[in-house]
């Protein structure tokens, strides 16, 4: 019996509650999702939206990536709460650091990736998470960074321009109707990084609400990380979690 892939459906994966340890002594809570019966071809290290505005590791695009992509695209998906952030998984130590102290959180996540020897890590930031990817991603051996709805509020022009000439891919997925940065302005801001790709999404919004927008975002991620997994299927033949 096949099941329609939409909403909160959770496809099979090896799921593990994990903890990350920062260099300033904090413990962060998270989850690692892996394909059930094979090794992943790449890893998404997810960085969630602004916690003071309700962002956390279960923000819906990141949760759906973890729920679907290990089974559909052979990806590992690492999610975690940055410092002071709460989700059903638990609360990470510390308090919100306005994107500054969170450098140590990114470091801890990438240390975990190295310890587990997870392959081809990509930073996947959403909103506030894109600021962390842009500020701190270059310091780590990532394959590239995918930016969903980047506001470019905390990222300085110098930090953005530092990606120019970097061999790692930088892809910004920009909603047409974004609350903070729309495609025309994004093209201008990212012109400081000539090799960056700016992907406008017609009728997209900052929060990517609805199954149509969810599928578009997940498809854009796969087009970058594992295009062989496209197109995303509409149905799943087999058990669901």
User: Secondary structure of the chain in the HEC alphabet?
Assistant: CEEECCCCCCCCCEEEEEEEECCCCCEEEEEEEECCCCCCCEEEEEECCCHHHCCCCCCHHHHHHHHHHHHHHCEEEEEECCCCCEECCEECCCCCCCCCCCHHHHHHHHHHHHHHCCCCEEEEEECHHHHHHHHHHHHCCCCEEEEECCCCCCCCHHHHHCCCCCCCEEEEEEECCCCCCCHHHHHHHHHHCCCCEEEEECCCCCCCCCHHHHHHHHHHHHHHHCHHHCCCCCEEECCCC
Residue 238 confidence (pLDDT) = 87
Residue 241 confidence (pLDDT) = 87
Report the top-level CATH class of 15-226. alpha beta
Task: Name the pTM for this structure.
Answer: 0.97
Residue 21 confidence (pLDDT) = 98
Give 70-110 pLDDT, tens digit per residue.
999 999 999 999 999 999 999 999 999 999 999 999 999 99
Give 10-55 pLDDT, tens digit per residue.
999 999 999 999 999 999 999 999 999 999 999 999 999 999 999 9
Give 142-159 pLDDT, tens digit per residue.
999 999 999 999 999 999
Residue 1 scores a pLDDT above 80: no
Residue 216 confidence (pLDDT) = 97
Residue 109 confidence (pLDDT) = 99
């Amino acid at each position: 019996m096949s099941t329609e892939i939409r909403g909160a459906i959770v496809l099979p994966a090896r799921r593990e509650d994990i903890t990350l340890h920062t260099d300033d002594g904090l413990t962060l809570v998270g989850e690692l999702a892996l394909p059930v019966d094979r090794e992943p071809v790449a890893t998404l290290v997810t960085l969630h939206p602004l916690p003071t505005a309700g962002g956390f590791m279960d923000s819906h695009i990141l949760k759906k990536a973890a729920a679907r992509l290990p089974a559909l695209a052979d990806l590992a998906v690492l999610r975690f709460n940055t410092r002071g952030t709460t989700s059903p998984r638990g609360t990470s130590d510390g308090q919100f650091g306005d994107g500054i102290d969170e450098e140590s959180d990114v470091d801890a996540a990438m240390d975990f990736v190295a310890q587990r020897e997870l392959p081809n890590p990509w930073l996947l930031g959403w909103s506030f998470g894109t600021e962390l990817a842009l500020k701190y991603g270059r310091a780590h051996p990532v394959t590239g960074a995918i930016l969903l709805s980047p506001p470019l509020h905390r990222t300085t022009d110098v930090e953005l321009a530092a990606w120019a000439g970097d061999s790692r891919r930088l892809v910004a997925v920009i909603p047409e109707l974004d609350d903070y940065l729309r495609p025309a302005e994004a093209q201008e801001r990212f012109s400081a990084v000539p090799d960056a790709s700016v992907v406008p999404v017609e009728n997209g919004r900052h929060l990517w609400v609805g199954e149509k927008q969810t599928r578009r975002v997940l498809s854009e991620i796969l087009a970058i990380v594992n295009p062989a997994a496209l197109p995303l299927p509409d149905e799943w033949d087999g058990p669901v979690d």
